[in-house]
Each structure stands twice: as structure tokens, then as C-alpha cells.
């Protein structure tokens, strides 16, 4: 194996979800199907929002951004996995691994922060309905999305720069279907104290912070809904949050389950399999979650699909 100045490996090996050759065609077909559904479904959501003036509101502006991020989030991992299965190769170059890790971290952080921004939007809409348009101005919406992007890029850049300083001597095998940051760091044969510190700091601040904001927003939303006298009013207020709550539950429930249970997992392969839920399945389901119970979205999608 070629070494770069005897300190850096020229490539890593992604062991994927299973090393059983008989399962590879099934995994390839399943992931190709899910990827196609994810891309086409989220693109339809974006097109519907862009083309329908009735959907030019803060809520749908954030949803369009979430859909674009979901496409990019999945595209950082699944295409490389499909190519490796098709070519019967597990290799990914050192530069390719760092690049994949960089973009995966950006879009994972963006997903995290956009869900918190969407929770804030629902909080303002339900708790301060008369001042909603005055508070959620177009400029504020753009600023919030820009803040999400800046945070994601800085977080990914800092982690990637710290990984670049590490030496990788042996144990170049990654028990995952993509270059997951934690696993790459712990394949290094040099001191990873700074990397681990940043990983824990990032988990607390960049995952715990948005989650705390979401929980606070929904505690206020629940209090406001309980204060509504009519059952119909309560249902109407809750229905505007139902899709977002389901998305939050899927994303945080699966991602926290994977990372909190990683240390107790019996194998890295089981962790990789569990990661599929939040990296592939959740982005695939989001278009269905946000369209099936949303009358305005269904009408917009029909106009896009059937030009009505």
C-alpha cells in the first residue's frame, strides 16, 4: 500500500453495511431506489414552492431549504456507496474521504439548525399570530438561513482541518458506508485529543443547542394550544406543527440513538446499519411527511406534475 511521506494513507476502505457478496445486489437496488425517491421527491417540493405564489411564506421558504439540504445530505454518501458496490471496490481516496466528511458535516449541521429555525417559525406563528409577518420578515428568514450555512461550514472546516493533522498508519478500514467523522478520527495513530474535544463540544453545542431551542419552542406552543377554547382551534393549530414534529422525531430520534448507543453497540456494522435511518430514510420520507396532510402543498404538487 502506498504511503504519503510515510505518515498518510493514500486511501481508506469503506466496509459498507455487509461484506456478504450475495447481499450486494440487494443493497445496491434498495439504496438506488431510495436515492431516486429522495432526489425526485425533494426536488418536487422545491419546484412546487418556487412556482406557487401561495407558498411564498416563511414556513415554505424554510421547507424548500430543508429539501435542498436533504438532497445534498444524501448525495454526499449514497452515490459513492453505489459506485463501490458496482465496481466491487471498497476504496475511497484520502482526499475523497476528507471531502465526503466535510460536506456530510455541513449538511448534517444544516439539517439540525434548519429544524430549529422551523420550530421558531411555528412558535411565532402560533404564539404571536398577529405579529407573525412583522417578526418573520423576508430579510430575517434569509439571515436565519445564512446563519445556518455559516455555522455548518465553520464546523465542518474546523473538524476537517483537525483531521488533516492526524497520521494514519494502519487500521485504515472504516466500518461504515461513508467516511463518518468519529470513525475516521479513531483510525488515526496520532494523538486525537483535540479532535475528540471538538467532537464532544460540537455534539453539545451544535446538536444540543438546536434541540434545546426546539423543545423550548414547542413547550410554548403546547401552552398556547392548551389556552385555545375550541377543539377545532386546537386541532388547526396543532396540524400546522404535526409534519415538523414528525420530521424532528425521525431525525433526532434516530441520530441520537445511533451516537448515544455507539459505545454500547456490539459491532460497528450495526451502528452503520442504524445510521441509514437518519442519513437516507429520513430525507426520503420528508417530502411525503410535508405533502400528504398539507392541502396547499398537494395542490401545488398537482400543478407541477399535471400542469393544472
What per-residue confidence (pLDDT) applies to 137? 96
What per-residue confidence (pLDDT) applies to 169? 77
What angle, 0 to 180 degrees and rounded to 10, lies between the N-to-C axes of helices 24-51 and 282-292?
40
Three-state SS at 263: coil
Which CATH number fits the domain that encloses residue 111? Answer: 1.20.1070.10
Give the pLDDT of the chain (308 residues) as one tens digit per residue.
444 444 455 789 998 888 888 889 999 999 999 999 999 999 999 999 999 999 999 999 999 999 999 999 999 999 999 999 999 999 999 999 999 999 999 999 999 999 999 999 999 999 999 999 999 999 999 999 999 999 999 999 999 999 999 988 766 888 889 998 988 998 888 889 999 999 888 888 888 899 999 999 999 999 998 888 888 878 887 887 888 888 888 888 777 766 665 544 445 666 777 788 888 988 999 998 888 778 888 888 888 888 76
What per-residue confidence (pLDDT) applies to 2? 42
Closest listed residue to residue 69, CA positions, set 35, 123, 112, 121: 112
> Could you say which DSSP state residue 55 is in?
G
Q: Please give the residue range of the domain that contains residue 165.
A: 3-306
Number of domains in the chain: 1
Residue with cell 445530505: 73
What per-residue confidence (pLDDT) applies to 5? 41
Residue with cell 475511497: 92
What per-residue confidence (pLDDT) applies to 299? 86
Pairing of strands 91-93, 173-174: unpaired
Give me the sign of the Cα torsion angle 155, 203, 251, 277. Answer: positive
Report the Cα 236 to chain-centroid distance in Å: 28
Amino acid at each position: 500500500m502506498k504511503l504519503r511521506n510515510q505518515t498518510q494513507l493514500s486511501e481508506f476502505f469503506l466496509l459498507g453495511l455487509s461484506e456478504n457478496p450475495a447481499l450486494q445486489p440487494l443493497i445496491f437496488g434498495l439504496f438506488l431506489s431510495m436515492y431516486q425517491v429522495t432526489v425526485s421527491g425533494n426536488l418536487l417540493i422545491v419546484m412546487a414552492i418556487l412556482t406557487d405564489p401561495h407558498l411564498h411564506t416563511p414556513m415554505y421558504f424554510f421547507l424548500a431549504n430543508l429539501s435542498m439540504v436533504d438532497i445534498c445530505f444524501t448525495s454526499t454518501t449514497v452515490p459513492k456507496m453505489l459506485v463501490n458496490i458496482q465496481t466491487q471496490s471498497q476504496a475511497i481516496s484520502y482526499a475523497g474521504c476528507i471531502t465526503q466528511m466535510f460536506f456530510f458535516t455541513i449538511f448534517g449541521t444544516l439539517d439540525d439548525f434548519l429544524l430549529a429555525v422551523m420550530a421558531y417559525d411555528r412558535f411565532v406563528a402560533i404564539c404571536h399570530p398577529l405579529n407573525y409577518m412583522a417578526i418573520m420578515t423576508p430579510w430575517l428568514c434569509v439571515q436565519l438561513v445564512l446563519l445556518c450555512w455559516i455555522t455548518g461550514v465553520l464546523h465542518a472546516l474546523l473538524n476537517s482541518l483537525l483531521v488533516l493533522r492526524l497520521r494514519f498508519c494502519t487500521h485504515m478500514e472504516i466500518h461504515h458506508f461513508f467516511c463518518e467523522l468519529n470513525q475516521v478520527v479513531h483510525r488515526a495513530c496520532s494523538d486525537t485529543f483535540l479532535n475528540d474535544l471538538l467532537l464532544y463540544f460540537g455534539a453539545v453545542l451544535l446538536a444540543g443547542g438546536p434541540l434545546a431551542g426546539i423543545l423550548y419552542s414547542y413547550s410554548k406552543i403546547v401552552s398556547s394550544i392548551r389556552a385555545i377554547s375550541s377543539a377545532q382551534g386546537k386541532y388547526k393549530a396543532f396540524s400546522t406543527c404535526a409534519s415538523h414534529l414528525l420530521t424532528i422525531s425521525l431525525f433526532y430520534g434516530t441520530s441520537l440513538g445511533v451516537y448515544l448507543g455507539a459505545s454500547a453497540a456490539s459491532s460497528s456494522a450495526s451502528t452503520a446499519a442504524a445510521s441509514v435511518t437518519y442519513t437516507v430514510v429520513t430525507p426520503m420520507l420528508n417530502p411525503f411527511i410535508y405533502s400528504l396532510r398539507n392541502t396547499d402543498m398537494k395542490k401545488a404538487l398537482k400543478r407541477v406534475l399535471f400542469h393544472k
